[in-house]
C-alpha cells in the first residue's frame, strides 16, 4: 500500500510534538528563513523533527497544499499549523510561542526565550 503525500505529512505532524518543514535540516539549514526558525527552536532547546522539503518535491508542494500556506518553513505543534518565519519570529518576541509550548506541554528553555526577547528589545 502506498501512502499519499498528504497521508505522509499528516502522519509526520501527528506523530511528533513539534515539526518544522524546512529547506535543509536543523543542523544544516539551506535558507535564511528556515535557519532563523530552526535557530530559535534549537536555542530554546525544543526537541523537534525536521523535514527537508528540498529532498522531496512531493513534500515540498504537498506541505503548501496541506496547510494552505505558500511558504517554507512551516512549524507544527501537536498536529496544528502554527506559522512560517515571520509569525514564529513575532510569537517568539511577544511570548506567544512560550505560551503555546506551555499549553501543549512542549519542553523548552524559558531562559533562552527571554534571552531572545532581550536581544531583540
For residue 102, pLDDT beyond 70: yes
Task: Kindly report, residue by residue over 43-73, the tens digit of the pLDDT.
Answer: 999 999 999 999 999 999 999 999 999 999 9
pTM of the predicted model as reported, rounded to 2 decimal places: 0.95
Q: What is the mean pLDDT of residues 75-81?
A: 98
Residues in Cβ contact with 72 at an 8 Å cutoff, skipping those fewer than 6 apart:
21, 22, 23, 31, 33, 34, 53, 60, 63, 64, 84
What angle, 0 to 180 degrees and rounded to 10, lies between the N-to-C axes of helices 110-119 and 96-104?
A: 170
Residue 93: CB atoms within 10 A of its CB come to: 16
Name the grid cell of 52.
527537508
Q: Which domains does the chain show, CATH number per domain?
A: 5-119 (3.40.30.10)
Predicted pLDDT of residue 1:
58
85 annotated binding-site participant? no
> What is the band of 121 on the pLDDT scale with cuts at 50, 70, 90?
confident
Q: What is the mean pLDDT of residues 65-83?
A: 97
Amino acid at each position: 500500500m502506498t501512502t499519499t503525500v498528504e497521508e505522509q505529512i499528516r502522519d509526520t505532524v501527528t506523530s511528533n510534538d513539534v515539526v518544522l518543514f524546512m529547506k535543509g535540516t536543523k543542523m544544516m539549514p539551506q535558507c535564511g528563513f528556515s535557519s532563523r526558525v530552526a535557530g530559535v527552536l534549537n536555542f530554546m532547546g525544543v526537541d523537534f523533527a525536521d523535514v527537508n522539503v528540498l529532498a522531496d518535491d512531493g513534500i515540498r508542494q504537498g506541505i503548501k497544499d496541506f496547510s494552505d500556506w505558500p511558504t517554507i518553513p512551516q512549524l507544527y505543534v501537536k498536529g496544528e499549523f502554527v506559522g512560517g518565519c515571520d509569525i514564529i519570529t513575532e510569537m517568539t518576541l511577544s511570548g506567544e510561542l512560550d505560551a503555546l509550548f506551555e499549553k501543549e506541554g512542549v519542553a523548552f528553555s524559558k531562559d533562552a526565550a527571554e534571552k531572545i526577547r532581550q536581544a531583540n528589545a
